[in-house]
């Protein structure tokens, strides 16, 4: 089917994450913090994960999302 995916989570090598996202992925699932980090524009590279191209968001750590720990971060992502 040719769908490319990537799991973008904290605790993994940041440079590997950036490189993989620059290659392009159709589906990216990750933790709130890492996704937010990848959505910030880099002066040299642009966006690692361009917010303008996102159609659907699926985030890890649903237990923390539901308790409100990430409510401010979720507003930034959306």
Q: Name the β-bridge partners of 68.
A: none
Structure tokens at 23: 């290659």
Q: Name the β-bridge partners of 42.
A: 46
Residue 30: predicted pLDDT: 85
d(Cα 54, Cα 1) in Å, to the nearest integer?
A: 20
d(Cα 52, Cα 61) in Å, to the nearest integer?
A: 23
pLDDT in tens, 14-60: 999 999 999 999 999 888 888 888 988 888 888 898 888 888 776 66
């Amino acid at each position: 089917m040719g769908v490319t995916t990537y799991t973008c989570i904290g605790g993994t090598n940041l440079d590997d994450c950036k490189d993989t996202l620059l290659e392009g992925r159709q589906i990216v699932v990750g933790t709130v913090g890492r996704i937010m980090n990848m959505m910030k524009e880099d002066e040299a590279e642009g966006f690692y994960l361009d917010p303008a191209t996102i159609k659907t968001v699926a985030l890890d750590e649903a237990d923390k999302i539901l308790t409100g720990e990430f409510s401010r971060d979720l507003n930034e992502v959306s």
